[in-house]
Amino acid sequence: MIHDEIDDYYLIKQVKSGDVNAYSVLVKRYEVSVRAFLIVRLSEPHEAEDLAQETFILAYNKITDFEEDRSFGAWLRGIAFNLYKNHIRKHKPIAVGSDTELDDLIKNEIDQHYNQSNESASLDALRHCLKKLNTKMQTLMTDHYVEGFSMSEMTEKYQVKHSAMTMQMFRIRKRLKDCIDSSIEGFKS
């Protein structure tokens, strides 16, 4: 008898009586549909492959629980869906802390590092360091932080690529930070 012509229920009875070859026929018959069921739900194909294999192993171990009035394909997809849910639950990112805890951490950090006197010193250092920038750098800083030009608008205005503008702004901010840090250190000593 050709395997494709044998119905699922006959093969399942054979598997229940210990015929492993009958189970391989069932696996070949349903492997594409189980993999497809998992691939559309998972972003990584190798995860779908692993879960498909787990599905067939679990189904083999639980074959005595299969009720013959049900569809074998639907039963396999049910197992695959439960494995999928467990997989998602295991790999779901866990949020640590609440918004209140995060607010408290930020407030504590601000309280530790900023007060009215050192904030004033930081502003003085910023003004001092801005004056040290060349005219072009000062213009870019003014356009972006005072006039409110977006990076896209600045790339159009100055006819440069977006990456070139972001790199230039990064270098200016770094120069300012280094200058401010050294100025504040100078105030402390």
pLDDT one-digit tens code per residue, 131-173: 999 999 999 999 998 889 898 899 999 999 988 998 999 999 9
Instruction: With beta carbons less than 8 A apart as the criterion, state whether 77 and 37 touch.
Output: yes
pLDDT one-digit tens code per residue, 57-103: 999 999 999 988 889 999 999 999 999 999 998 887 666 667 778 77
Instruction: With beta carbons less than 8 A apart as the criterion, state whether 3 and 30 touch.
Output: no
CA angle 78, 70, 1 (to 5 degrees): 110
Model-level pTM?
0.49
Which residues neighbour 140 within 8 Å (Cβ) at sequence distance 6 or greater? 154, 168, 169, 172
Lowest mean pLDDT: which of 15-29, 108-122, 129-143? Answer: 108-122
pLDDT value at 1 more than 50: no
Residue 107 or 114, more confident: 107
Where residue 125 falls among pLDDT bands split at 50, 70, 90?
confident
Instruction: With beta carbons less than 8 A apart as the criterion, state whether 150 and 119 touch.
Output: no
Instruction: With beta carbons less than 8 A apart as the criterion, state whether 165 and 154 touch.
Output: yes
pLDDT one-digit tens code per residue, 36-48: 999 988 888 899 9
Which residues neighbour 175 within 8 Å (Cβ) at sequence distance 6 or greater? 129, 133, 137
